[in-house]
């Protein structure tokens, strides 16, 4: 039986190329979207409706590819400008609460699958240790919250065989087509232990990499 892959949205070129890469390699791919990609089955956008549809059509899920990554055009203020709470809340709801709802909806199907791999988009610029910009409060804070959500989720699910991938597509630095291929390789392969250091094993630790294969701090 083919591995079942769910891509949570097809809003960006990266999302579409990543879904297409899985379809090209023989995976059975589903996506929650109003748009379409060849050989990708479209599900409702609502997570619970989509999970019900996937249960009927496939009965399991192996790879949950969460490509949610929303930015707000007004999220450019700094602390001296005054912080727009409504903008921050909107970005947070998209980038954190929706991802939480998606996992809740699809977790029973992931439990039935063999892959048990979760993938999330994030940015090095949202790392507490690496961020250098003074604006984009909403986006950076939402991704920092996503990092915490991933860690807490991993604490619960890793003992049950779940593995995790966090990925920065390097928008503006790497073409989305190339970033999608890098993400596909990262999702589908075990990176193994680097330099014989168990703390650099992607399967036993929560590791955050970018489209060029570099590891970043949280």
- In the structure, what pLDDT confidence band is assigned to residue 53 with cuts at 50, 70 and 90? very high
Q: Kindly state the average pLDDT of the residues 159-188.
A: 96
When mean pLDDT is compared across 66-75, 114-123, 127-136, the lowest value belongs to: 127-136
Q: Which residues contact 65 (CB under 8 A, 6 or more apart)?
A: 5, 6, 7, 8, 18, 19, 22, 119, 187
- In the structure, what pLDDT confidence band is assigned to residue 2 with cuts at 50, 70 and 90? confident
pLDDT digits (tens, 9 = 90+) for 196-207: 666 666 677 788
Q: Kindly state the average pLDDT of the residues 68-81.
A: 93
Q: Per the structure block, which two tokens stand in for 196?
A: 């014989």
pLDDT of residue 125: 87
Q: Which residues contact 129 (CB under 8 A, 6 or more apart)?
A: 217, 218
The pLDDT of residue 98 is above 70: yes
pLDDT of residue 204: 75
Residue ranges covered by each domain of the chain: 4-216
Q: Identify the three-state secondary structure at position 118.
A: strand
- CATH entry, 4-216, from 3.30.1490.20, 3.40.30.10, 3.40.50.720, 3.40.630.30: 3.40.50.720
pLDDT of residue 1: 60
pLDDT of residue 132: 83
Half-sphere exposure of 30 (CA within 13 A, CB side): 26
The pLDDT of residue 59 is above 90: yes
> What is the chain's mean pLDDT, rounded?
93
Taking the C-alpha atoms of residue 19 and residue 205, their distance in angstroms, rounded to an integer, is 26
Angle between helices 13-24 and 176-188 (to 10 degrees): 50
Taking the C-alpha atoms of residue 189 and residue 69, their distance in angstroms, rounded to an integer, is 23
Q: Which residues of 102-115 are buried (b: 16+ CB within 10 A; e: fewer)?
A: bbebbbebbeebeb
Nearest to residue 119, comparing CAs of 13, 2, 15, 1? 15
pLDDT digits (tens, 9 = 90+) for 153-167: 999 999 999 999 999
pLDDT of residue 198: 60
């Amino acid at each position: 039986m083919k591995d079942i892959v769910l891509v949570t949205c097809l809003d960006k070129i990266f999302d579409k190329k990543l879904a297409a890469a899985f379809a090209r390699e023989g995976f059975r791919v589903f996506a929650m979207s109003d748009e379409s990609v060849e050989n990708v089955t479209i599900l409702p956008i609502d997570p619970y409706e989509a999970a019900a549809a996937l249960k009927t059509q496939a009965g399991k899920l192996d790879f949950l590819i969460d490509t949610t990554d929303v930015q707000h055009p007004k999220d450019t203020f700094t602390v001296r400008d005054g912080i727009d709470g409504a903008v921050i809340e909107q970005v947070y709801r998209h980038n954190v609460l929706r991802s939480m709802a998606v996992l809740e909806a699809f977790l029973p199907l992931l439990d039935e699958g063999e892959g048990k791999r979760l993938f999330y988009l994030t940015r090095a610029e949202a790392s507490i240790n690496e961020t250098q910009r003074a604006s984009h409060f909403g986006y950076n804070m939402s991704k920092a919250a996503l990092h915490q959500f991933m860690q807490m989720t991993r604490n619960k699910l890793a003992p049950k065989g779940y593995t995790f991938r966090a990925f920065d597509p390097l928008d503006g630095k790497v073409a989305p087509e190339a970033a999608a291929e890098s993400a596909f390789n990262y999702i589908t392969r075990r990176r193994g232990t680097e330099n014989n250091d168990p703390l650099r094993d992607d399967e036993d630790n929560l590791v955050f990499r970018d489209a060029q294969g570099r590891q970043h701090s949280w």
